[in-house]
Amino acid sequence: MKRIYLDHAATTPIHPSVKEVMRDVMEDSFGNPSSIHHFGRESRKRLDEARMTMANSINANYESIIFTSGGTEANNLAIFGTAYANRNKGNHIITTNIEHHAVLHPVEQLEKEGFDVTYLPVDEKGMVDIMDVKKALRKDTILVTIMYVNNETGMKQPVQMIGNLLRSRGIPFHTDAVQAYGVEEIDVEELKIDLLTTSSHKIYGPKGVGFLYKREGLNLTQRLYGGEQERTWRSGTENTLAIEGFKKAVEVLKEERTKRYDHYKQLSERLIQALDEKNVEYHINGDLSTEHRVPNILNLSFPGMDVEIFLTNLDLSGVAVSSGSACTAGSIDPSHVLKAMYGEDSPRLRNSIRFSFGMDNTVEEMTLVAERIEKIVNRLSSNV
Active site residue 383: no
196 three-class SS: strand
Q: Does 7 bind other proteins (CB under 8 A)?
A: no
Query: Cα–Cα distance between 247 and 52 in angstroms, integer?
Result: 9
Least distance (Å) from other proteins to the CB of residue 381? 11
Phi–psi pair at 217, nearest 5 degrees? 90, -15
The site for other proteins, by CB under 8 A, has a size of: 18
- Amino acid sitting at position 358: G
Least distance (Å) from other proteins to the CB of residue 351? 14
Q: Helix/strand/coil (H, E, C) string of 321-356?
A: CECCEECCCCCEECCHHHHHHHCCCCHHHHCEEEEE
Q: Does 380 bind other proteins (CB under 8 A)?
A: yes
Least distance (Å) from other proteins to the CB of residue 331? 4
Among 88, 168, 258, 331, binds other proteins (CB under 8 A): 331
> In which order are the strands placed within the sheet that holds 283-284?
283-284, 297-301, 352-356
Nearest to 298 by CA among 40, 112, 126: 126
Query: What is the footprint of other proteins within residues 160-199 (CB under 8 A)?
Result: none
Q: Which is nearer to other proteins, 106 or 126 (CB)?
A: 106
Helix (H) or strand (E) holding 145: strand 141-145
Query: Cα–Cα distance between 85 and 371 in angstroms, integer?
Result: 54
Q: Does 352 bind other proteins (CB under 8 A)?
A: no
Q: Which is nearer to other proteins, 231 or 379 (CB)?
A: 379
Among 258, 289, 328, 382, binds other proteins (CB under 8 A): 328
> What residues contact residue 222 under an 8 Å CB cut-off, 6+ apart?
77, 81, 232, 233, 234, 235
Q: Which is nearer to other proteins, 224 or 380 (CB)?
A: 380
Q: Which of 36, 327, 329, 384 is catalytic?
A: 327
Q: Does 312 bind other proteins (CB under 8 A)?
A: yes
Q: Which is nearer to other proteins, 269 or 306 (CB)?
A: 306
Least distance (Å) from other proteins to the CB of residue 339? 16
Among 268, 313, 322, 335, binds other proteins (CB under 8 A): 313
Q: Which is nearer to other proteins, 36 or 384 (CB)?
A: 384
Q: Which is nearer to other proteins, 132 or 306 (CB)?
A: 306
Helix (H) or strand (E) holding 198: strand 195-199
Query: Cα–Cα distance between 131 and 120 in angstroms, integer?
Result: 10
Query: Cα–Cα distance between 272 and 224 in angstroms, integer?
Result: 46
Where b means 16+ CB within 10 Å and e means fewer, 177-212 reads: bbbbbbbbebebeebbbbbbbbbbbbbbbbbbbbbb
Q: Does 374 bind other proteins (CB under 8 A)?
A: no
Q: Which is nearer to other proteins, 3 or 139 (CB)?
A: 3
Among 329, 344, 345, 382, binds other proteins (CB under 8 A): 329
Among 49, 281, 315, 364, binds other proteins (CB under 8 A): 315
Q: How many residues does the chain have?
A: 384
Q: Which is nearer to other proteins, 48 or 315 (CB)?
A: 315
Least distance (Å) from other proteins to the CB of residue 328? 4
Q: Does 316 bind other proteins (CB under 8 A)?
A: yes
> What residues contact residue 292 under an 8 Å CB cut-off, 6+ apart?
125, 127, 155, 156
Interface segment toward other proteins; rule CB under 8 A; list 147-155, 203-211, 282-290, 312-320: 312-320
Q: 196 vs 11, 163, 280, CA distance in Å?
A: 19, 12, 39
Among 225, 330, 344, 345, binds other proteins (CB under 8 A): 330
Per-residue x/- mask for other proteins, residues 290 to 309, rule CB under 8 A? ----------------x-xx
Q: Does 382 bind other proteins (CB under 8 A)?
A: no
Active centre residues (catalytic): 327
- By CB under 8 A, name the binding residues for other proteins: 306, 308-309, 311-313, 315-316, 326-332, 379-380, 383
